[in-house]
Amino acid sequence: HGSVSASAAATAPGSDTYKGWLFKWTNYLKGYQRRWFVLSNGLLSYYRTQAEMAHTCRGTINLATAHIDTEDACNIVLSSGGRTYHLKASTEVERQRWVTALELAKAKAIRMMNDQSGDEEPTSQSDRSELQGTLKLLVSKLDDLSTCNDLIAKHGAALQRSLTELEGLKVTIEGGEKIKAVNERATLFRITSNAMINACRDFLDLAETHSRRWQRALQYEREQRTHLEETIEQLAKQHNSLERAWREAPTLASSSPSERSNKEEASDEDEDTEYFDAMEDSPAFITVTASESSQHRSMSPSCNDVSGKELQPRRERRTRVPDKPNYSLNLWSIMKNCIGKELSKIPMPVNFNEPLSMLQRLTEDLEYHELLDKAARCESSLEQMCLVAAFSVSSYSTTVHRTAKPFNPLLGETYELDRLEEFGYRSLCEQVSHHPPAAAHHVISQRGWTLWQEITIASKFRGKYLSIMPLGTIHLQFHSSGNHYVWRKVTSTVHNIIVGKLWIDQSGDIEIVNHRTKEACQLKFSPYSYFSRDVPRKVTGVVADSSGQAHYILSGTWDDKMESAKILQSSRGGSGSEGKQKTVYQTLSPKLLWKKYPLPENAENMYYFSSLALTLNEPEEGVAVTDSRLRPDQRLMEDGRWDEANAEKQRLEEKQRAVRRRREAEASEALDEEYEGYQPLWFHQRRDSLTGETSFVYKGGYWETKESQDWNICPDIF
């Protein structure tokens, strides 16, 4: 069908109309028949012939509600409202052109539909027509330019010819005539050039006045790009289901379209569809700093820095790990099989890991422990809350470049960090469950605080990005006052899984509550947006007393610093951009609560580890036999021996599966007696009286066992 494909690409995909011949399945007698298809204004219509377009349309499908599917090389399946069209293009390239055109038209139709339903501000419709008008004007000016251009070229050639003729002349009478002709042509040439220059000038003026409209056009392009990414995601799903179908039935010949079973729809709709789209951009308040004259000391002297850094000889710890080797492996080749799945169940090669386990990552939350030491010395619980909030934000500061995934700990794996001598705290983590993966963590500090948490990491891969949702509560108690703070973590998102450089964002809200005083802090992590004028990675917050009265404004970014400003007075301000009332807070000038430490030298070759992270996997004497530092695949990976690490990782995971199978067999044999499932060693489940949640809390015994070095009770997991 050479002629078919030639006429099909009548217009390029991306323009508003697209026409061409496609084969449409009619029925079993006639099979596929050639039909003329026209895609325009979000509607796909078809006719028997091009001539029929004037009077008889044979059918139309609205793309806004249509589902576009691709089967084998040249097929397209469109379904909408119970009707399904099975179409076939003559070549794969042709099919791809149509699919692109259909997808773009569908996106546009959906956008138009949303515009009309009044979701956007009413200006967008006129904006769009204005933009269209501008573009038309610019295009017509461009046409003028090219017309002038053609003319200049034509006249130029004529002038050239005349001059050549002139040179070859000997006769003078005739010469006069010719020279006159040359002059006329030169004049024409000048006039045309002038016209061209003027057209250029008009064009420039227009372009200058409409640069703002170009911004909008750019935004539209960005939306198109997002749409393309979504299309790629669809392709990945189709690729995936094709591979699956091929694996399940490689021998069956392909059945005819009408016998198609309902394919498994790889739909993300139920998954809190793009959960962060709905979040507002701007905080719901405005802050005004008071003039210096009204300044008071904002932090009471109770929080002064008499930090416990009494002069002690520090233990030397390592300041580097071997450089990360340069193994190239395409993340996408592995990830495309995981869309919509729970990531912990997918065996991943170490190539996407960093040589630390999730237990060590959890321990990294303590990097800025001195904020808690300082908070423990505060007399004012509201000032204490500011520091606790800064601490909760500081745990994200290490993530900004850390796009590799930590090792999923084996069941029963532990990790201790004993910094009693240097910083007054001891930390212990244990992997208490494998599906879902959950880790319990307990830290006690001689400087007046205890922190405990049980975190389950839920991760969903959604094609373009990966969501990491840490579920579970963090508890922090100060010994002297009894202030007991509770909060949860926000969602992390890893972007650009398909193309480009991976980057991480944090989005969502954290509410920190002091259960003793009922004071609360609301923190908002704003998701990154192309279009926002805000600084990226922004965090804003308000600290309020038990009656809801605001006392401090917190602001900063999760990858750099947090500040607090004491509120002098608040008033209901003017309306915000959406017509909502915004509170205006008058504050003292802000005080720094927390500032991120710079990354160590050469960090970019060492997995972007912080100084603390570099020391976490350093071998240490006397730790439990289940400690992450002793995990062999992780150690091999840190040493740069990735192929051996991958083999070792498979061995460990297989060993863990065998143990689990044995446990399940024991459980089914012991059905008559009470059979206890897997029990962690150092943590047990207890119900929290404050939150009512059941979680694993430390039951004691680890540090005593470490004293006696009797690790016989530990399981053999490595």
- Give the pLDDT of residue 140: 76
Is residue 366 within 8 A of residue 443, CB to CB? The reply is: yes
Classify residue 661 by burial, with Cβ atoms within 10 Å: 0-12, 13-18, 19+: exposed
What are the CB-based long-range contacts (under 8 Å, 24+) for 528-534?
529/281, 530/219, 530/222, 531/219, 532/281, 534/281, 534/282
Reply yes or no on whether the pLDDT at 82 is more than 90.
no
CA distance 642 to 644: 5
Among 62, 90, 113, residue at a domain's last position: 113
Residue 227: inside a domain:
no
And the tokens for 145? Answer: 């330019």
The model's confidence at residue 686, banded by pLDDT at 50, 70 and 90, is: very high
Residue 5: inside a domain:
no
Residue 463: inside a domain:
yes
Reply yes or no on whether the pLDDT at 125 is more than 70.
no
SS3 content of the chain, % helix, strand, coil (to 5): 40, 25, 35
* CA pseudo-torsion sign 296, 302, 308, 311: positive
Q: Could you write out the three-class secondary structure of 485-497? A: EEEECCEEEEECC
Domain containing 40 — which CATH number?
Answer: 2.30.29.30
Q: Percent of the chain, pLDDT > 70?
A: 80
Reply yes or no on whether the pLDDT at 342 is more than 70.
no
Residue 609: inside a domain:
no
pLDDT tens for 492-512 read 998 887 767 888 999 999 999
pLDDT tens for 445-502 read 999 999 999 999 888 877 778 888 999 999 999 999 999 999 999 999 988 877 678 8
- Give the pLDDT of residue 664: 85
Buried b (16+ CB within 10 A) or exposed e, 413-439: bbbbbebeeebbbbbbbbbbbbeebbb
Is residue 543 within 8 A of residue 521, CB to CB? The reply is: yes
Strand 405-407 to 353-357 pairing: parallel
What does the CA dihedral 361, 362, 365, 370 come to, rounded to 10 degrees? -110
- Give the pLDDT of residue 68: 86
Residue with the two structure tokens 């001195």: 370
CA distance 271 to 255: 32
- Give the pLDDT of residue 229: 79
Cα angle: 388, vertex 389, 394; to 5 degrees: 95
Query: Length of the chain in residues, anyone?
Result: 718
CA distance 475 to 462: 31
Residue 607: inside a domain:
no
- Give the pLDDT of residue 38: 93
Residues in contact with 226: Cβ distance below 8 Å, sequence separation at least 6, in sequence order: none
Closest CA to 530 of 210, 214, 227, 281: 281
Q: What is the mean pLDDT of the chain?
A: 81
Residues in contact with 459: Cβ distance below 8 Å, sequence separation at least 6, in sequence order: 342, 343, 344, 466, 467, 468, 469
pLDDT tens for 269-319 read 333 333 333 334 455 677 777 765 444 444 444 455 444 444 556 788 999
Residue 442 φ then ψ, to 5°: -140, 130
Give 232 or 190, the one with higher predicted confidence.
Answer: 232
CA distance 352 to 339: 17
Average pLDDT (557-568) is 95
Angstrom distances, CA of residue 506 to CA of 141, 543, 550: 46, 21, 25
Classify residue 601 by burial, with Cβ atoms within 10 Å: 0-12, 13-18, 19+: exposed
Domain containing 507 — which CATH number?
Answer: 2.40.160.120
Classify residue 151 by burial, with Cβ atoms within 10 Å: 0-12, 13-18, 19+: middle
Which stretch, 222-231, 259-268, 595-604, 659-668, has highest mean pLDDT? Answer: 595-604
- Give the pLDDT of residue 10: 47
Q: Helix or strand or coil: residue 518?
A: coil
Among 70, 95, 113, residue at a domain's last position: 113
- Give the pLDDT of residue 704: 96
Helix (H) or strand (E) holding 203: helix 172-209
Give 65 or 81, the one with higher predicted confidence.
Answer: 65
Closest CA to 358 of 473, 279, 455, 238: 455
Residue 125: inside a domain:
no
User: DSSP secondary structure string, 131-199?
Assistant: HHHHHHHHHHHHHHHHHHHHHHHHHHHHHHHHHHHHHT---HHHHHHHHHHHHHHHHHHHHHHHHHHHH
Average pLDDT (248-269) is 45
pLDDT tens for 11-28 read 544 456 889 999 998 888
Reply yes or no on whether the pLDDT at 134 is more than 70.
yes
How far apart, in Å, do the first and last CA atoms of the chain sit? 63
CA distance 32 to 47: 14
Give 489 or 147, the one with higher predicted confidence.
Answer: 489
Is residue 302 within 8 A of residue 380, CB to CB? The reply is: yes
> Which amino acid does the sequence have at 389?
A
Reply yes or no on whether the pLDDT at 596 is more than 70.
yes
Q: Residue 517's CB: how many other CB atoms inside 10 A?
A: 17
pLDDT tens for 91-115 read 888 888 888 888 888 888 888 777 7
CA distance 70 to 56: 28
Residue 209: inside a domain:
no
- Give the pLDDT of residue 186: 75
> Which amino acid does the sequence have at 429?
C
Average pLDDT (376-387) is 97
Among 54, 82, 113, residue at a domain's last position: 113
Closest CA to 442 of 421, 415, 424: 415
pLDDT tens for 520-529 read 999 999 998 8
- Give the pLDDT of residue 279: 37
Angstrom distances, CA of residue 220 to CA of 198, 210, 395: 31, 15, 36
Residue 132: inside a domain:
no
Interhelix angle 123-167/92-116, rounded to 10 degrees, is: 130
Classify residue 617 by burial, with Cβ atoms within 10 Å: 0-12, 13-18, 19+: buried
- Give the pLDDT of residue 89: 92
Reply yes or no on whether the pLDDT at 193 is more than 80.
no
Q: Helix or strand or coil: residue 343?
A: helix
Asked, as a colleague might, if the bond just before 436 is cis with ω within 30 of 0, I would say yes
Q: Percent of the chain, pLDDT > 90?
A: 41
| Total structural domains within the chain | 2
Average pLDDT (160-170) is 72
Q: Specify the pTM.
A: 0.62
Helix (H) or strand (E) holding 73: none
Helix (H) or strand (E) holding 384: helix 381-394
Which domain covers residue 365, as residue numbers? 329-595+628-669+678-704
